[in-house]
Structure 1
Amino acid sequence: MFSSIGIPGLIIILVIILIIFGPSKLPKLGRSIGESMKNFKESTKGVMDDDDEVKKEEKL
């Protein structure tokens, strides 16, 4: 996905984000995105674990 954008495209995107949110909001934005990704991974792991348990019970 990112291989088609290239380095110049990524730099332009980062500059636009910097202009929109400003330098003071970027750390907060990055932290909230990181926490969201962590919560998403934890919830999908829980769903996958539940799915594995259901499959094990069906085999019995």
Structure 2
Amino acid sequence: MGALSPWHIILVAIVALLLFGPNKLPELGRGFGKMFREFKDATSGNGGNNTSDDQPAPVRKEINPAEVTNAETGQINK
């Protein structure tokens, strides 16, 4: 099975034009473009989350069990 020749591409374009009509083809092209763009973003790891890269992750403080605050008295147990 070889590559597509120009005749194959023309035949596919004519069949698409007959099936969907000239008014629907631009919408289908935009849909395919959006699908490929989302697929590329998902495979590259972007996922479209640009806002999370702008803000650093919050720093988590480690809790030492020996220094836990007593909820009843409000004092730190050491």
TM-score for both structures, normalised by structure 2: 0.53
Query: Whose relative contact order is higher, 1 or 2, with alpha carbons under 8 Å and at least 6 apart?
Result: 1
TM alignment of 1:1-60, pairs within 5 A: 4-46=3-45
Greater helix percent: which structure? 1
Asked which structure has the greater CA Rg, the reply is 2
- Structure 1 portions without partners, runs of 5+: 48-60
Query: Sequence identity of aligned pairs in percent?
Result: 37
Runs of 4+ in 1 over 6 A off after TM superposition: none
- Structure 2 portions without partners, runs of 5+: 47-78
Cα RMSD between the aligned structures? 1.9
The count of corresponding residues between Structure 1 and Structure 2 is 46
User: What is the CA distance between 1:7 and its match in structure 2?
Assistant: 1.0
